[in-house]
Each structure stands twice: as C-alpha cells, then as structure tokens.
Amino acid sequence: MKKICFSICLTITIIFLTTNVGYTKDDCLKINKKNAKVEIWLSKKYEKDYRNILREFKEMGNTKVGLFIYPAENPSRIVAIGRCVPVQIAQHFLKKAKKYSLGTTHLVNQGFVSSHWSGLGTSLFSEHSINAINQQQLIMLMDENLDTQSFQKLYQSLTVQKAKAPAFGLMVDNPKLLDSIKP
C-alpha cells in the first residue's frame, strides 16, 4: 500500500514538474513589454481612501489600474491572475486581497482571463470557472522563492477544472471546461 501511494505521489510530482500548461516564455516576454491590467473591486468602506489605494496599486509598477467600489459591504474573495502576469505583481496582488477583500478563497482558471489581466474581488466568473483554495495553497503561492514560471505552474495546478459539473440536479459535462489555455 505504501509503495502504491509513493508511486502515485511520485508520478503526480513528475507530471507537475515536467508539464508546461499554457505558459510559454516567448509569448509572455512579448506581452510583458506591456503593462499588466489590474482591476480591483473594493468594499464601499474604502471609498474615502480611493485615491490612496489607487496610488498604492500603481506603485507596484508595470500596471494599469482600474479601481471600483463594490456596492455591498464586502466584495467576493475571488482572485484572477493572467498567465503572463509577473510573480512580483501577482504576489503583491494576493497580499492586497487580504487587506482589501478579506483574503482569497477562490482562483479563476486562466483560460477565462486575458494573459495580462488580474482581478481582485471579482464576481465576473461562474462557479464552474473557479476553484476553491485553502490557506496552505495560498501560502505556497506567496513563497518568495518562486519565479514567474514556477508561480504560474502552481497557479494552473490549483485551477484545474472538473470534467463534470452539477446542473439541474444532474452531473453533466462541464460546459466551461477548456481543452487548453488560449493566449
């Protein structure tokens, strides 16, 4: 039993380390010459600090920031990060999610997001295009030793879509399932 468990764990690790889902360095290098688009939905309790918060997100550099006041008390805890967003911007974004939207509980599959776009507190995506994450997984994403490619591989491994989804009381093929991530 231990040998089988070890074999399965080893196989998953090898697959994780050797696959390169959706991240092509050359494509992202061309895109990274452009600024990353960052959109943030904030609780209305931060409305009075709008200008300071806008400045805070612009200070991370290489970004175009869109800041919106969410009409309810707390925006969603969903974060989306495009496949070409550099690690320093993505991790800064996750830190700010904790500060301004009570943290991160779900990540959006990158196939539904522009390669250079990130959203914090977004509710633009259906439940079939997001994945729940736990605190341990969030800590893994925040590891300062990750480079952009490693961060993106980890993010993609945390947002794998399920083949079946509930609809009208049945389990049907996931209508949002993407065969591959498109640039």
Residues 4-36 have pLDDT tens digits of 544 444 344 444 444 444 444 446 765 456 778
Pairing verdict, β 117-120 and 78-81: antiparallel
Show the domain range for 130: 21-173
Question: What average pLDDT does the segment 143-149 reach?
Answer: 93
Predicted local distance difference test score (pLDDT) of residue 101: 75
Give the residue, 24 or 67, on which the prediction is more confident: 67
Q: What is the mean pLDDT of the chain?
A: 78
The verdict on residue 68 lying in a domain is: yes
Q: What are phi and psi of 150, to 5 degrees?
A: -65, -40
pTM: 0.73
Question: What average pLDDT does the segment 77-103 reach?
Answer: 87
> How many independent structural domains does the chain possess?
1
DSSP state of 44: G
- Cα separation, 122 vs 172, in Å, equals 26
The verdict on residue 12 lying in a domain is: no
The verdict on residue 84 lying in a domain is: yes
CB contact at 8 A, 115 and 83: yes
Predicted local distance difference test score (pLDDT) of residue 108: 92
Give the residue, 80 or 122, on which the prediction is more confident: 80
Where is average pLDDT lowest: 14-23, 79-88, 110-119, 162-171? Answer: 14-23
Predicted local distance difference test score (pLDDT) of residue 76: 84
